[in-house]
């Protein structure tokens, strides 16, 4: 009678004890040293895992920072405050953050372009663009159902007159809208970028003119006007080499359709950052 209770208790007890001791020993023998610095940096980072820094999420960037293989100041969403925190953990001077902002390379508002069909399907850019390339006349342009608006965690994008518009004061350059846009018309640009082409249409000039009144027709005037070899036309579409652009504005003046314009976000962002610092 007594044995019937004792045997199972002893056997389960021994198995449990063996498992416990085995785990404890294994934890000591096979311990992996935890990088405390990387841990601290990871906690300082925003934790959005957006990939704007070019690493596999915040953890990857924290690890690279603690090993000294990554330059500081790549965290654009974190901004100046995170840069200061990282600097204090690493014991270095805070690095200047290169502000980035999302740029919608389309200006095809309802007035500038039109629709080619009555679309009654799912109200999302991904679905609409699968259906004959979207509702707009231009198959390269903004679909306007706001997939990017839904993806933005900072409320920096809204659909205005059929085109997504980024508010640079709120945009943290996290890259989420860039990945979600089915037309790939959003790109991250450095806030210093001066002239930008707000068009992605790669059709021939005549075709483009039929589709949109502000589409790039590839007339090469901006290329000739640029003194710094910063504007190039490829596939009937002009694009600016932001490293070379000085922001002289000559290409803006000669553009017959007005699709090149200045991007003045740096001052807006700096003002915002200064305000944030004053508040915190």
Partner 1 sequence: MQMAITILISGILTDNFVLSKFLGICPFLGVSKKTNTAAGMSAAVIFVMLIATLVTYPIYAWLLVPQGLDYLQTIVFILVIAALVQLVEIALRKFLPPLYNSLGIYLPLITTNCAVLGVTILNFDNNYTYGEAILNAFGAGVGFLLAMVIFAGVREKLEGCDIPESLKGLPITLVAASLVSLSFLGFQGLAEGLFQ
- Is residue 19 close enough to count as binding partner 1 by CB under 8 A? yes
In the complex, least distance from residue 243 CB atom to partner 1, rounded to whole angstroms? 35
Q: Does 279 bind partner 1 (CB under 8 A)?
A: no
Query: Would you state the structure tokens that stand for residue 18, as one six-digit string?
Result: 């063996």
Write down the H helix ranges in the chain. 2-29, 36-44, 57-66, 79-90, 125-130, 147-151, 176-180, 205-211, 221-225, 250-254, 266-279
User: Which window, 9-17, 73-81, 165-173, 215-223, contacts partner 1 (CB under 8 A)?
Assistant: 9-17
**Residue 240 CB partners (closer than 8 Å, separation 6+):** 193, 194, 195, 196, 197, 230, 231, 251, 260
Give the footprint of partner 1 on residues 32-71 (CB under 8 A). Answer: 32
Task: State the minimum distance, in angstroms, from the CB of residue 24 to partner 1.
Answer: 10
- Could you tell me which stretch among 23-31, 89-97, 101-109, 164-172 binds partner 1 (CB under 8 A)? 23-31
Pairing of strands 195-197, 260-262: antiparallel
Number of residues that bind partner 1 (CB under 8 A): 19
Helix and strand tally (H, E) in the chain?
Answer: 11, 8
- Pick 120 or 243: Cβ nearer partner 1: 120
Q: Which of residues 86-145 bind partner 1 (CB under 8 A)?
A: 121-122, 126-127
Cβ 135 vs Cβ 143: under 8 Å: yes
Site for partner 1 contains 150 (CB under 8 A): no
27 binds partner 1 (CB under 8 A): yes
Member of 1, 2, 6, 11 binding partner 1 (CB under 8 A): 11
**Please, which residue, 16 or 258, has the CB nearer to partner 1?**
16
Q: Does 30 bind partner 1 (CB under 8 A)?
A: yes
Distance, C-alpha 225 to centroid of its chain: 31
Name the burial class of residue 44, with classes exposed (0-12), middle (13-18) and buried (19+) by CB atoms within 10 angstroms of its CB: buried
Token pair 């706001």: residue: 146
Kindly state whether residue 16 participates in binding partner 1, applying the rule CB under 8 A.
yes
Q: Which one of 28-36, 45-53, 93-101, 138-146 is the stretch in contact with partner 1 (CB under 8 A)?
A: 28-36
- What Cα–Cα distance (Å) separates residue 63 from each residue in 71, 97, 206? 12, 19, 52
Stretch that binds partner 1, among 27-35, 72-80, 100-108, 222-230 (CB under 8 A): 27-35
Q: Using CB under 8 A as the criterion, which residues of the chain lie in contact with partner 1 when the complex forms?
A: 7-8, 11-12, 15-16, 19-20, 22-23, 26-27, 30-32, 121-122, 126-127
């Amino acid at each position: 009678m007594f044995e019937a209770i004792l045997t199972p208790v002893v056997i389960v007890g021994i198995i449990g004890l063996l498992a416990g001791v085995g785990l404890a020993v294994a934890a000591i023998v096979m311990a992996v040293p935890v990088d405390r610095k990387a841990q601290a940096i990871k906690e300082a980072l925003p934790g959005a895992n957006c990939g704007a820094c070019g690493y596999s999420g915040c953890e990857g960037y924290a690890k690279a920072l603690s090993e000294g293989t990554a330059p500081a100041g790549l965290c654009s969403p974190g901004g100046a405050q995170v840069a200061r925190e990282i600097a204090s953990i690493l014991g270095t001077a805070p690095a200047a953050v290169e502000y980035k902002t999302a740029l919608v390379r389309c200006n095809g508002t309802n007035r500038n372009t039109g629709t080619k069909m009555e679309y009654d399907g799912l109200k999302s850019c991904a679905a609409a663009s699968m259906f004959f390339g979207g509702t707009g006349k231009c198959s390269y342009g903004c679909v306007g159902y706001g997939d990017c608006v839904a993806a933005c965690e900072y409320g920096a994008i809204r659909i205005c007159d059929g085109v997504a518009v980024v508010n640079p004061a709120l945009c943290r350059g996290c890259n989420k809208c860039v990945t979600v846009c089915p037309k790939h018309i959003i790109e991250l640009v450095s806030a210093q970028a001066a002239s930008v082409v707000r068009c992605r249409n790669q059709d021939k000039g005549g075709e483009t003119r039929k589709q949109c009144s502000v589409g790039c027709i590839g007339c090469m005037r901006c290329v000739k006007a640029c003194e710094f070899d910063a504007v190039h036309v490829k596939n009937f579409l002009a694009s600016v080499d932001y490293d070379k652009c000085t922001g002289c504005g000559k290409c803006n003046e000669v553009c017959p359709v007005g699709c090149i314009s200045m991007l003045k976000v740096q001052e807006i962002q700096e003002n915002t950052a200064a305000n944030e610092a004053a508040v915190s």
